[in-house]
Amino acid sequence: MMTTAARLLLITLLLGSQNTLSATLGDDGLHKQEWFSLTFRDVAEDMAEAEEEGKRLAIVFEQAGCIYCNKMHETVLKDSEVVSYINQHYKVVQYNLYGDEEVTDLDGEVLTEKTAARKWGIMFTPTWLFLPEQSDGIEHVGIAAVGTMPGVFGKGTFLDLFTWVHEKGYAGEEDFQRYHARRITERQASGNGDESFD
């Protein structure tokens, strides 16, 4: 018969061996993922670097104390399939909704994170902005973005939007809502669909 101490040790070992990804809380109160890119927040430069890496640029706005940001980090950004897909196809840069770090917009205007948020129409956290592969340098990020995801969603919606942008669905006939509905139906038909996923 196994003792209580032995059971606790076994549970600890089993939980420790699972593929769990976790964020740390930064000095600014934002959750930090080790795979987030640290940059000078020059959006055109970040886009060029992402392109050199064969990726797209995604910007995520968060704020200290945001319960929805916490939920995102504790659910979908802990999922190894989601993180693997993002790492393969995206360079992610985190912005603070109320931050004072300098940002250079695509149109060349120098802002702070908080003034960039206002200019780009960010009103909620978390909000993801998906940038085009290239920019003409005339439009600001809020106009140039090919997709936006305000809020936290389940794994299916989250991964479907990242996939739709990567596959350039925004340039085709199937808008995201139709794409997502089709993907849900496909997952259900294959036996991989459930409410917790989407």
Helix axes 80-89, 155-166, angle to 10 degrees: 20
Tally of structural domains, the chain = 1
Contact 10, 3 (CB under 8 A): no
Burial of 123 per CB tally in 10 Å (0-12, 13-18, 19+): exposed
- 175 within domain boundaries: no
pLDDT tens sequence across 98-136? 999 999 999 999 999 999 999 999 999 999 999 999 988
CATH code assigned at 117: 3.40.30.10
- For all residues of the chain together, what is the average pLDDT? 89
**For residue 12, pLDDT beyond 50:** no
Decide if 180 is inside a domain.
no
**Residue 143 domain boundaries:** 24-153
Is there a domain that residue 125 lies in? yes
Q: Pick the closest to residue 59 from 92, 97, 32 (CA basis).
A: 92
Could you tell me which of 152, 127, 157, 154 has the C-alpha nearest to residue 58?
Answer: 127
Find, among 124, 126, 184, 185, the residue nearest to 153 by Cα. Answer: 126
73 belongs to a structural domain = yes
| 31-32 and 24-25 strand pairing | antiparallel
- pLDDT tens track for 157-169: 999 999 999 999 9
Confidence (pTM): 0.86
Tokens for 150, please give them: 């305000």
Question: Considering the domain boundaries, does residue 166 fall inside one?
Answer: no
| 198 in any annotated domain | no
**Mean per-residue pLDDT for 30-45?**
97
User: For the chain, how far is it from start to end, CA to CA, in angstroms?
Assistant: 42
